[in-house]
Structures are given as C-alpha cells and as structure tokens.
Amino acid sequence: MIYLTTDSQEQAVYFDLRKQEPRRKSGGVEHCLYGLLGNGITEVAVTVRQWRDCVDVAFVGSALFDFVDERTVRRMLGELARELVH
C-alpha cells in the first residue's frame, strides 16, 4: 500500500497496487497496473496503463474526488506507474 497525499479532511489517500503481466503491443510493451484508491471513507477502482511515453489513468466512480483533487492524484499515479515499470 502506498500513501500519496492527504485529502481535504486531513486523511491519507492510499493506493493499493497490483501489476498484470506486460503485454506486447505493436511498437512496444503495454504495462497495466490496477487497484483501489481510497481515503478510508470511500474507495475508487483505478487502472493505470503505461505504453511508450503515454500513461492513461482511468477511475471507476468519482465519489472520492469530493475529498481530493483529481488532477493531483492523476499526476501522482502517472509518476508512480513510470517508476514501477522501469
């Protein structure tokens, strides 16, 4: 479990991360990370795909973003994904 930041109610925002087996795609390898992003009140399923220099962060649901800034979390998850796959 990785703690990313704190939310508007001073609670830690965590990300529980799992890695799938990398898949070959034309021109490179796609890495897929999935898990839950939460703050103790609500959790959101998240999938992070990294291919070449692109990182795509997809959330299922959005109740958590009443408490945290979505752009900040997307940026942090993108940086985390780049570190984990290299």
- pLDDT above 70 covers a percentage of the chain that reads 92
Domain total in the chain: 1
Q: What is the CA radius of gyration of the chain?
A: 13
Supply the range of the domain harboring residue 54: 2-85
* Residue ranges of the chain whose pLDDT lies below 70: 1, 3-4, 6-7, 86
Number of Cβ atoms within 10 Å of the Cβ of 58:
11
pLDDT score at 15: 83
**pTM tops 0.85:** no
Which pLDDT does position 7 carry in this prediction? 67
Alpha carbon distances (Å) from 32 to 24, 27, 40, 67: 11, 16, 25, 26
Which pLDDT belongs to residue 1? 65
Alpha carbon of residue 4 to chain centroid? 10
Beta bridge partners of 29: 24
